């Protein structure tokens, strides 16, 4: 577990790059075990590759690029399924960020 400093998170890639990689990797592995691996891989490579984690008001949140579902071109998937898996994936990343930084919810 890393000592977390919200002010240092503003320059997250310089201060917390290994922790960010770990959180995203653990979220990917969890999602890959639970959902269609082609869909999870497409979301990872075509949406989350341009996502941005933030820490505000005591919470982590992941900001997605504009029109995230329009970015999926590697596979054919209906919008409802894509949106549900993407939402779950973002929740998983946010949870992994809390875990990696020792900020588990009580």
Q: What is the pLDDT of residue 104?
A: 76
**By three-state DSSP, how is residue 4 classified?**
coil
- Which residues in the chain show pLDDT less than 70? 1-2, 105-106
Instruction: Give the Å distances, CA to CA, from 83 to 21, 39, 46, 49.
Output: 23, 11, 14, 16
Which pTM value belongs to this model? 0.91
| Alpha carbons 96 and 76: distance in angstroms, whole number | 28
Query: How many residues does this entry show for the chain?
Result: 106
Q: What is the pLDDT of residue 106?
A: 44
């Amino acid at each position: 577990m890393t000592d977390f400093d919200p002010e240092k998170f503003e320059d997250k890639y310089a201060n917390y790059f290994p922790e960010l990689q770990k959180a995203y990797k653990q979220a990917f592995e969890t999602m890959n075990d639970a959902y269609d691996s082609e869909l999870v891989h497409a979301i990872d490579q075509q949406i989350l590759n341009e996502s941005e984690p933030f820490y505000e008001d005591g919470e982590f949140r992941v900001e997605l690029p504009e029109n995230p579902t329009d970015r999926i071109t590697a596979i054919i998937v209906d919008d409802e399924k894509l949106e549900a898996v993407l939402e779950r994936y973002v929740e998983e990343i946010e949870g992994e960020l809390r875990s990696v930084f020792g900020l588990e919810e009580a």
